[in-house]
Chains A and B, each alone.
Chain A
Amino acid sequence: ILNVEQSPQSLHVQEGDSTNFTCSFPSSNFYALHWYRWETAKSPEALFVMTLNGDEKKKGRISATLNTKEGYSYLYIKGSQPEDSATYLCAFDNAGGTSYGKLTFGQGTILTVHP
């Protein structure tokens, strides 16, 4: 059983604060690490798919880093806005692309940004 852990479980920040949260995953048989944002009553939306150790990806105010050797990824949000409020999911892919869709998800970090 693959263990993907996210911390913290929930986070409350004020508008304008920067924040970050963690995803840890097995360091063996790594293929890719995914981050998704899931807003209430909407579809989960892919933020990043990362494969290379040391990789850093950025989309607007959101960025993510990847350490495959130690098995963790950080997601950073700079200058949080209320519209960033969502559950952030990470998902581990150890399938080498041969079993598309078979991702192991963490429990998510619920972010609430207060105006």
Chain B
Amino acid sequence: SAVISQKPSRDICQRGTSLTIQCQVDSQVTMMFWYRQQPGQSLTLIATANQGSEATYESGFVIDKFPISRPNLTFSTLTVSNMSPEDSSIYLCSVDEGASGGPLRELFFGEGSRLTVL
């Protein structure tokens, strides 16, 4: 199973600033996924990061607010731009791999980056 490292693990940020979260995977993967969990809400997919092409964003998320880089098959960054208190969330990087014992796939996650915006 993939081992995923994220940093920072947590940060306190000022309104209007931007923060970049890094995600490193110990193996080459085609797609990497960025999720967000706002307080009391579900884990929600922000975008899918593909190496060599622009990220694919889900409804409600835009590139200007959440620019993503994917320079190679083991690394991605997510930037949260011009932050407001509503951006206070846990941001998770994930990859999918075949579930043990069959063709199904399951997600492997980093430990998350907990951002608090004041």
Contact = CB atoms under 8 A, between A and B. Distances in A.
Given A51-B104, A101-B96, A43 B112 contact: yes
A102 B48 contact: yes
A97 B102 CA distance: 13
B40 interface: yes
Given A44-B92, A102-B48, A49 B33 contact: no
Interface string A29-41: 0001010100001
Interface string B93-114: 0111001000111111111100
B105 A97 contact: yes
* Interface size band for B: 20 to 34
A103 B40 contact: no
B53 interface: no
Interface of B: 4, 31, 33, 40-45, 48, 92, 94-96, 99, 103-112
Interface of A: 4, 32, 34, 36, 41-46, 49, 51, 89, 91, 97, 100-108
